[in-house]
A and B are shown apart, each in its own frame.
Chain A
Amino acid sequence: MLFLTRTLPLVIAFSCGVLAIAIYYVPHSAAQGMEEKLTLWLRIVAAFAYFLGLYSLLNLHWNRIRQHQAGWGYSVVAAVGFGLMFFFAVINDGDGPFAPQAKQGAYQWMFDNVQVACASTMFSLLAFFISSAAYRTFRARSPEATILLVAAVVVMLGRVPIGAYISDLIPEAMLWLLSVPNLAAKRGILLGVSLGAIGTALRIIFGIERSYLGGGEE
């Protein structure tokens, strides 16, 4: 049983990982064909992964409703919203769920008038909080904080037309800040992040990193 639950997955991860690396360096058409097949498989498996997240969300709200936890009424609202949109998706503007997705209909209407409105409004709320935070907490307490503050002000002024209206030097300074010191820092971070990602990928392939196997009995 240990072979099936632990050894076999590690062997699969190792094989797939080494195969993917080898395919990259082998220009033969057979290798390229294999890459096409494997990535097609990856794409289809990724679609199934969505259902895990969906189950998690629905299960959370269902438990809240069943156990009458605090705020369970809102979980009913989430369930109603889900049910309504699901119903419209199935109806598919009268064509049913086995025809290509309709471009009109209630499903699209709900997206345009509920999802777009709510999603963009939620994120736009941050504009208010970032402004409030800038006033209350953005302090030049140290030389480093001062550098950060000055850079932020130069970028905020330089990125909008009013900066150029005040002085041509402001957008020039903004461009220099972004394409020289900012670039250097981002590149340093990128190099570090990619080295870390490569290290983690190697650990996964060699079976040292096994956290992705979580779930189920050993």
Chain B
Amino acid sequence: MTRDSYLFIGFLLLFAAVNAALLATGAIAADWTGFGVILAAGLTLSLYSFLYKDNPLYKFVEHLFVGVAAAYVLGLVWYNTLLAEIVNSLILGEGKDRWSLLMPSLLGALMLTRLVPRIAWLSRIAFAFVVGLGAGLTIPRYISSFILAQMEPSLRPITWSIEGLNLVIILVGVVAVMVYFFFSVEHTGVVGGVSKVGIWFLMISFGASFGYTVMARLSLLIGRTQFLLDDWLHVMK
């Protein structure tokens, strides 16, 4: 047996021993809730085993998660939309209003023809509806909320104060960043200089994003560690 096999067996034995102790002392209840905590802890530690190296236990749990997650969403889609709106309203419901659901149901069914190669061309009708409508909904709203609503605060009157200075910096930064992303003109001379300023602003922004990303990932690790130390092992104060 290899070293990794010994480690694997040792891990399983230790896990079993810890859980037996927790159940014996009553720290974890011997019911479905308690079993759920033990299962969640086992899955968590199995996934963390990837930090040692990629291994079959990690892959097993990863694939189990994929299957469970896919079926979970299927359940939600069925109960929240297909059952509630199509089955209960259109098929089993009463009144004329329900017939307005017939057309989208047919479009949805057309979308599924994509899975049958001989009639997959029918799905283009459904996709054209979704994509065309989505594009039309996007244009005026993006103009209003992203272009106009974002340009206005950049062009506010400048005052002789710290706030005024900040507004100048914001205006310079917005223009410089947009010049940087304008690749139709060669970045030399004045354009190159402004583009360089844009890069500095982008670097500050990426640094801020990196700092926040570190914080986000650590927060998730803190959450899982809280679960392991408190909900499972009960060693936190």
Question: Which residues on B sit within 8 Å (CB–CB) of A135?
Answer: none
Tell which of B5-13, B20-28, B65-73, B184-192 binds the partner: B65-73
Contact of A25 among B44, B104, B140, B210 (CB under 8 A): B140
Query: B36 near A112 (CB under 8 angstroms)?
Result: yes
Query: A12 near B129 (CB under 8 angstroms)?
Result: yes
B164 near A: Cβ within 8 Å? no
Question: Which residues on A sit within 8 Å (CB–CB) of B223?
Answer: 120, 124
Contact of A155 among B60, B81, B170, B212 (CB under 8 A): B212
Query: B117 near A216 (CB under 8 angstroms)?
Result: yes
B182's nearest neighbour on chain A, judged by CB, is A192
Number of chain B residues close to chain A: CB under 8 A: 121
Known: A117-B43, A191-B146. Is A127-B220 also a contact (CB below 8 A)?
yes
Question: Which residues on A sit within 8 Å (CB–CB) of B151?
Answer: 191
Number of chain A residues close to chain B: CB under 8 A: 127
Contact of A212 among B67, B128, B176 (CB under 8 A): B128
Query: A47 near B81 (CB under 8 angstroms)?
Result: yes
Query: A114 near B207 (CB under 8 angstroms)?
Result: no
- For the complex formed, measure the closest distance between the CB of B221 and the CB atoms of chain A, giving whole angstroms: 4
Known: A9-B124, A12-B132, A191-B146. Is A21-B139 also a contact (CB below 8 A)?
yes
Query: B64 near A45 (CB under 8 angstroms)?
Result: no
Q: A49-B130, A55-B115, A193-B146 are in contact. List 11 more A-B contacts (CB 8 A).
A: A24-B140, A74-B59, A151-B204, A160-B215, A184-B173, A185-B202, A188-B178, A198-B143, A200-B135, A215-B121, A216-B117
Residues of B participating in the A interface, judged by any CB pair closer than 8 Å: 32, 36-37, 39-41, 43-44, 47-48, 50-51, 59-87, 100-101, 103-105, 107-109, 111-112, 114-115, 117, 119-143, 146-147, 150-151, 154, 166, 169-178, 180-181, 198-208, 210-215, 217-218, 220-221, 223-224, 227
Residues of A participating in the B interface, judged by any CB pair closer than 8 Å: 4-6, 8-10, 12-21, 24-25, 37-52, 54-55, 57-58, 71, 74-75, 77-86, 89, 92, 97-98, 100-101, 107, 109-128, 130-131, 134, 144-145, 147-156, 159-160, 176-195, 197-198, 200-202, 204-205, 212-213, 215-217
